[in-house]
Structure 1
Amino acid sequence: MQNIEPFSRWETVYLTNQDPQSIYYGDVIDEYLCRNTIYNHYIHPKWDEFGSKTLYLKILFVSYEQNFAIIELMGEWNDCLYNDIMHLKRTVVEHLADKGISKFILIGENVLNFHYSDDAYYEDWFNDIEDGWIMAVNFRQHVLEEFDKINLNYYILYGGQLNSVKWRTLSPLKLFAALDHYANSALNP
């Protein structure tokens, strides 16, 4: 698992540890020292921790002017045992929301499983962003089926065209523009 690393092509335009408004500002990453594990399997050191034992993330891009963040996730999203959504919301999302971020793009190609508990934190997150949205891009089908079991579609846009977004070929601003257009048409038919 240490070979799965976060997308790095956008590092020329944004690094979370060089963003003075980021919770990871000033972090020094030794790219050769694996420090975090998922079930005793070391993961690449570029993944950032936020309080979960099985889910890690990398904030790939933030635009405070356009109020959006792109976050890549890796691991097992386990609300049942570890309440990962609570950690994600309290540690990362609330910090970004305090900085004006109201549109969240979650990239989930490396989310291997999802174990749900309840939808309270998702509902809180959705209610906190008022005119914003939360979008799950390229999550695995079995993960989306678990999302469906607790009706996360009330709070998060996912599925359909969002399962095959070729996001790596775009700049973060072009990706956001395309997904914002999609969200506006989906939320305001």
Structure 2
Amino acid sequence: MHTITPYERWNQYYNSSYDDRSPFAGKEYNYDLYSENIYGYYIDPAWDFFGSETLYIKILFADYDRGFAVMEMIGEWNDAINNDIMQLKRNIIEHMIDFGVNKFALVGENIMNFHGSDDCYYEEWFDDVEDGWIAGVNFKDFVIDEMKNYNIDNYINMSGSLQIEKWRTLPPLRFFEVVNSLIARRLAI
């Protein structure tokens, strides 16, 4: 797992440690020291801890004028034991909502497993974004299936056209436009 790094090409457009409004503002990274791990497997130091022992994130891009953020995730999303959604909601999402973000794209191709509980925090998050949306991009099929078992798909748009295979070829604003138009089409149906 230590070889899986957060997507780096957008660093020229955004860096969460340089963003005064980011929950990770001012964070200093030591790329020579691998200290964080998931189940004993070290992960790249660029991933950010937000309160979960098994799930880490990286805010790849945030645009407060347009009200959107892109977050990449790695690990096991475990609501049953660690209540990861509560940690994510309270420590990251609410902070970003306070600065006007109401559109969230979660890149989930490095989420290795999902263990659900109830959907209360997802519902709360969905209600908090009002005119915005939450999109799960490139989640693995078995993770999507498990999330659907807990009705998470009522709150996070995922699968189908949101399996954007070549998302890394897009600059962040173009990526936002693609996801936003896909969500708009879904809502129009």
TM-score above 0.5? yes
**C-alpha displacement of 1:15:** 0.3
Specify the alignment match of 2:186 in structure 1: 186
Specify the alignment match of 1:113 in structure 2: 113
* Higher mean displacement: 60-69 or 155-164: 155-164
What's the CA shift string for 1:20-46, capped at 9, x where partnerless? 111111111011111211011110000
Return the alpha-carbon distance in structure 1 between the equivalents of residues 98 and 107 of structure 2: 22
Return the alpha-carbon distance in structure 1 between the equivalents of residues 80 and 9 of structure 2: 34
**C-alpha displacement of 1:152:** 1.4
Return the alpha-carbon distance in structure 2 between the equivalents of residues 92 and 133 of structure 1: 16
**C-alpha displacement of 1:165:** 3.5
Q: CA RMSD in A?
A: 0.7
Specify the alignment match of 1:128 in structure 2: 128
Return the alpha-carbon distance in structure 2 between the equivalents of residues 40 and 147 of structure 1: 25
Q: Is the 8 A contact 2:137 2:162 kept in 1?
A: yes
- How many aligned residue pairs are there? 189
3-state SS, counterpart of residue 117 of structure 1: coil
2:95 maps to a residue whose letter is H
2:87 maps to a residue whose letter is H
Return the alpha-carbon distance in structure 1 between the equivalents of residues 21 and 125 of structure 2: 20
3-state SS, counterpart of residue 60 of structure 2: strand
What's the CA shift string for 1:62-95, capped at 9, x where partnerless? 0001000000000000000100000000000000
Specify the alignment match of 1:9 in structure 2: 9
Specify the alignment match of 1:77 in structure 2: 77
TM-score computed with the length of structure 2 as normaliser: 0.98
| Structure 1, gaps ≥5 residues long | none
Return the alpha-carbon distance in structure 1 between the equivalents of residues 153 and 130 of structure 2: 16
1:77-96 equivalence runs, <5 A: 77-96=77-96
TM-score computed with the length of structure 1 as normaliser: 0.98
Q: Is the 8 A contact 1:137 1:165 kept in 2?
A: no
1:141-156 equivalence runs, <5 A: 141-156=141-156
Specify the alignment match of 1:43 in structure 2: 43
Specify the alignment match of 1:67 in structure 2: 67
2:158 maps to a residue whose letter is Y
1:31 maps to a residue whose letter is Y
3-state SS, counterpart of residue 187 of structure 1: helix
Report sequence identity in percent: 47
1:74 maps to a residue whose letter is I
3-state SS, counterpart of residue 82 of structure 1: coil
Specify the alignment match of 1:158 in structure 2: 158
Q: Is the 8 A contact 2:161 2:182 kept in 1?
A: no
| Structure 2, gaps ≥5 residues long | none
